[in-house]
Structure 1
Amino acid sequence: MAKWDNMLKILWLLRSKSTMTAEQLSEDLEMSVRTVYRYIDALCASGVPIIAEPGHDGGYSLPGTFKQAPLFFDSAELKAVLQAALFAQGAGYPFEEELQRALQKIQLYHGETQQEDWERQTRGMDVIPHAGNHALKPMLQLMEKSVAESLTIHIQYAKNAEDEPQLRKLDPYGLAYRTNKWYVAAYCHLRQEVRTFRVDRIEKLELTGHRFQVPLDFSAKSYFEQSAFVQKSDSGHGGCYVRIEGNADSIRRLADHWYLRNCSPEHDGQTLTLRIDEETMMKYLPRLLLSYASAVRVLEPSNLKQEMSRLVRELTGFYE
């Protein structure tokens, strides 16, 4: 496979530059000039129309009409492609039919022996899909189109399952898949700032036909890594600090919890400090902390301590 890889590299280099000498190719590919000549001869014998210009300013080039170069994958690369496709399907990737067609083309292109090797190496690898994600396919396809083409949208959105959907006008900047959920980072015209919206809570989506400009310094990846569930979510304003004490194992597990990773967790082994918006803190954190029983205890803020106490009394009364 190394031979085919090097031959393809020669083709890609010749496509990217007007003319290259054998010496330049050998330097870029870190091989001898004699090996370059041998690969050039093999490419010509296979029907690639490489032009050889003699003289001081000569070299090798490809005609402007040459656009296609074959693809060759070794068994490890084929395995990586198939396994990546499995993960995409498990996430509810909205273009599954197109992905399957692409995989079929790759399989048809390779020989039967290589396909058998591919199947052998990927046997036993599977991804269990989240049942709800496939139902989002039409919504995700429209959302991806609005992100890719910078199209403003109107949505009916409910922040919580018990809330009535509200009309929102959004400029979607980017999509992300996280912990079995799809999210979109979008400029909300109602709030006049970038917010995070869960796609499964969108009941209706319409493209307006109007285009927007994504800020040049905006990175969807950075936004979701730094801001999700902290200050930029659509469920809260501002933020506050939470201090929790407990045994070392419980504090470590809390700090690594997927929901708290973006809350700037800091811990010294016995104490954990978080930064989180107040509404999210009061809605989700008490029930999470209850699962740790007496292994952890809230030190501050006082309203979180009071909510923990209220939930404990409520549970006590329920079971008594």
Structure 2
Amino acid sequence: MRASRLLSLLLLLQSRGRMTAQELADELEVSVRTVYRDVEALGASGVPVYADRGPAGGYRLVDGYRTRLTGLTTEEADSLFLAGMPGPAAELGLGAVVAAAQLKVLAALPPELRSRAARIRERFHLDAPGWFRGNEGTPHVAAIAEAVWQQRRLRIRYVRWAQVEVERTVEPLGLVLKAGTWYLVARADDLRTYRVSRVLELTALDESFDRPEGFDLAEYWAGWSARFEERMYPMRVTVRMTPNGLRSAQVLLGLAAARELKDVEPQGVWTTVRVPVESLDHAVVDLLRLGPEVEVLEPPELRDRVIARIAAMAAVYEG
């Protein structure tokens, strides 16, 4: 803990110049007495820190001194090399930049952190896409990223969900990578989200735009994601499940159902729960995957469909 604080004190003096003991204490959330001891420890370790006396005095580093440390702790160095994500960086046209940045950071790290970072790259690998799906073709993502940086309007030809092609002139505000899929957040008449793999053609226009005041990409994405999931799972059906059914449902019924069921405690042999579904047709297929571990209670139409499907299946095997 103290080593981390000493490093923070050193970097504060390096970045801000002269600081009083009270200012350092406020930044580090320690007492002034602790700052005195830490400054002495830095001096004893060879860091050229000294005190200016008088009302306008304070601690400062010798002019021209720069630590060769990056300020990274062991955990921070580890996370840097875990977060490289070369695939998405390459799609954005930044693959070489990321590689060069990592080389520079490696050169600046102390020997013990340098060897650890090399082991991290050898032993850990991040694969963003979900199972049973490859990376989608996104030939336009680098051009979109450039337009986001430059705040330039784009004209795109885009395939909507119903396989209808449309043309839009949009103001690109940001890119989001979700489970291996790129999404463009842009303003047309209002804020909209476009799946980048569905962009067929793209033209960068020589027209700049001003970003909406106060727009926060992460905040927008959180709200849009929640609304998207509500649209995808507009219905709730009532079922009862065995304890084994509750466990299996969290794997077999998708993430929306898993969130609903993760804190449900079994209430004996059967537990009645509400489960989100895309539609009655989807519900029949999904719930039958749980076999005798689930029984549909409501709505009656879904119960009738499940009974009819089971009867049809039994007839096939009896025949």
TM range (shorter): 0.5 to 0.7
- Which residue does the alignment assign to 1:247? 241
Cα distance in structure 1, aligned partners of 2:114 and 2:299: 59
- Which residue does the alignment assign to 2:38? 35
Change (3 A) 1:151 1:309: farther
- Which residue does the alignment assign to 1:176? 176
The secondary structure found in structure 1 opposite 2:83 is: helix
When normalised by structure 1's length, the TM-score is 0.67
Cα distance in structure 2, aligned partners of 1:264 and 1:170: 36
- Which residue does the alignment assign to 1:139? 140
Shift of 1:267: 9.2
When normalised by structure 2's length, the TM-score is 0.67
Where does 1:216-295 land on structure 2 (aligned, <5 Å)? 216=214, 219-231=219-231, 240-248=234-242, 249-250=244-245, 254=249, 258=254, 260=256, 269-274=271-276, 281=279, 288-289=286-287, 291-292=289-290, 295=294
Cα distance in structure 2, aligned partners of 1:156 and 1:315: 45
Cα distance in structure 2, aligned partners of 1:292 and 1:195: 37
Is the 2:11–2:71 contact (alpha carbons within 8 Å) kept by the matching residues of 1? no
2:197 to 200, 208, 215: 200
| 2:80 is aligned with 1:81 | yes
Change (3 A) 1:119 1:194: same
Where does 1:15-164 land on structure 2 (aligned, <5 Å)? 15-16=15-16, 19-22=18-21, 24-26=23-25, 28-29=27-28, 30=30, 31-39=34-42, 42-44=46-48, 52-61=51-60, 70-85=69-84, 88-89=85-86, 94=92, 95-120=94-119, 123-128=122-127, 130=129, 132-133=134-135, 135-136=137-138, 138-160=139-161, 163-164=163-164
Change (3 A) 1:119 1:267: closer
The secondary structure found in structure 2 opposite 1:142 is: helix
- Which residue does the alignment assign to 1:10? 10
1:214 to 212, 223, 233: 212
Q: Report the residue type matching 2:175 in the other structure.
A: L
The secondary structure found in structure 2 opposite 1:197 is: strand
Shift of 1:67: 9.1
Is the 2:184–2:194 contact (alpha carbons within 8 Å) kept by the matching residues of 1? yes
Shift of 1:202: 1.7
Is the 2:81–2:120 contact (alpha carbons within 8 Å) kept by the matching residues of 1? no
Is the 2:168–2:188 contact (alpha carbons within 8 Å) kept by the matching residues of 1? yes
Shift of 1:105: 1.0
Q: Report the residue type matching 1:260 in the other structure.
A: A
Cα distance in structure 1, aligned partners of 2:248 and 2:55: 68
The secondary structure found in structure 1 opposite 2:256 is: coil
The secondary structure found in structure 2 opposite 1:182 is: strand
Is the 1:156–1:166 contact (alpha carbons within 8 Å) kept by the matching residues of 2? yes
Is the 2:4–2:73 contact (alpha carbons within 8 Å) kept by the matching residues of 1? no
The secondary structure found in structure 1 opposite 2:135 is: helix
Cα distance in structure 1, aligned partners of 2:316 and 2:202: 42
Deviations 1:242-301 (A, max 9, x none): 314141554566567555369988996423243x8xxx6478666545544564648349
Shift of 1:203: 1.9
Cα distance in structure 2, aligned partners of 1:317 and 1:194: 52
Is the 1:151–1:210 contact (alpha carbons within 8 Å) kept by the matching residues of 2? yes
Is the 1:266–1:272 contact (alpha carbons within 8 Å) kept by the matching residues of 2? no
Cα distance in structure 2, aligned partners of 1:146 and 1:57: 48
Identity of aligned residues (%): 16
Is the 2:249–2:290 contact (alpha carbons within 8 Å) kept by the matching residues of 1? no
Cα distance in structure 2, aligned partners of 1:245 and 1:5: 55
Cα distance in structure 2, aligned partners of 1:7 and 1:90: 33
Is the 2:176–2:182 contact (alpha carbons within 8 Å) kept by the matching residues of 1? yes
The secondary structure found in structure 2 opposite 1:228 is: helix
Q: Which moved more, 1:18-27 or 1:99-108?
A: 18-27
